[in-house]
Amino acid sequence: MQNKWFQSRRNPDSHAGLTNGASGPFSANSEETAYDSNTAAANVTDGFVASGTDLMAFEEIYHSAGIKVPKQGYSIAKVIEMLHSEHIRNLPNEMKRAALLMALEAAGVQVDEVLQDASLRQRAINSYEAIQRKHLEEFEARKAQDNCAIQAEMERVAAEYAARISNNLDEVAREKESFRKWQARKQQEAQRIAEAVALCVTQGGAKAAADPLAPLREMAAMSDPAYSHR
């Protein structure tokens, strides 16, 4: 639900100037008709819209600003509608102006009343835009801070996982080195065993197929060249 983003300095029921019903000329400094955009900004409620789809429509802005439809309905919007009618829109500007002034005169509407309505509406949408821009900038700044915090957290977590990965690689490297050293010792151990076996077995022993010590004899053959060539 939209919050009212500003309020009139006077009670709407007593703010006769907003009805655009006065017959006197429009004055930009009139207390009865002028809209103070600074006062509007000061009275805004803290309700920044969540997205562009929640931004107030122009008619809602005018209503929230306390702008009422002028007498006989001749607001600036009515004039715009008249100018876009099929009877006038294709006429030259001078003829459009003449037709518009004739219509206003026939309706008993002063031109200043229409200009007053246009001024109020322009000020209202300008003030609304300024307020929404300020809220947008604040919203963007908050999100930028959030993004910085997220980025810092990402970097911290990435560094933590990188350290864990590095630690795992180091552990694997240590295990590989340990296994390589064991293999070197194992080769030395196998060599010593083979040399000892070569001295224990006879060169003219039983057939290899029936000899349970055949693997040892093979080791002996590997360590004793003279035996392996017999």
What local confidence, expressed as pLDDT, does residue 202 receive? 65
Look at residue 166 and tell me if it is in a domain: no
How many independent structural domains does the chain possess? 1
- For residue 167, pLDDT over 90 is answered with yes
Residue 10 in domain: no
180 lies in some domain: no
Higher-scoring residue by pLDDT: 25, 193: 193
Using the predicted structure, report yes or no on whether residue 148 has a pLDDT greater than 90: yes
3 or 74: which carries more pLDDT confidence?
74
Give me the chain's average pLDDT, please. Answer: 74
97 is written with which tokens?
Answer: 């102006």
Higher pLDDT, 162 or 49: 162
Write the DSSP symbol of residue 39: H
Burial 79-106 (b: 16+ CB within 10 A, else e): beebeeeeeeeeeeeeeeeebbeeebee
Task: Provide the pLDDT confidence category of residue 198 given band limits of 50, 70 and 90.
Answer: confident
Whether 34 is in a domain gets the answer yes
The answer for residues whose C-beta is within 8 angstroms of residue 100's C-beta and 6 or more apart is 79, 82, 83, 88
65 and 40 in contact (C-beta within 8 Å)?
yes
Q: What pLDDT digit, counting tens, does each position of 77-93 carry? A: 888 888 888 888 888 98
Q: What is the pLDDT of residue 138?
A: 96
In the predicted structure, residue 71 carries a pLDDT above the cut 80: no
Is 160 contained in some domain?
no
* Predicted pLDDT of residue 85: 83
pLDDT at 80: 85
Angle formed by the axes of helices 111-200 and 93-107, to 10°? 120
* Token digits of residue 162: 């990188």
Alpha carbon of residue 62 to chain centroid: 31
Higher pLDDT, 127 or 209: 127
* 126 domain-assigned: yes
Per-residue pLDDT, averaged over 155-170, amounts to 97
Non-local (6+) Cβ contacts of 31 within 8 A are: 17
Residue type for 22, please? A
Residue 30 above 70 pLDDT?
A: no
For the segment 146-152, the average pLDDT, to the nearest whole number, is 97
Domain that holds residue 107: 16-139
Structure tokens at 30: 């009139």
Q: Is residue 201 part of a domain?
A: no
| Distance between first and last Cα of the chain | 104
pLDDT band at 18 (very low <50, low <70, confident <90, very high): very low
pLDDT score of 145: 96
In a domain, 47, yes or no: yes
Confidence of residue 199 (pLDDT cuts 50, 70, 90): confident
Structure confidence by residue, pLDDT tens digits, 102-120: 888 888 888 888 888 899 9
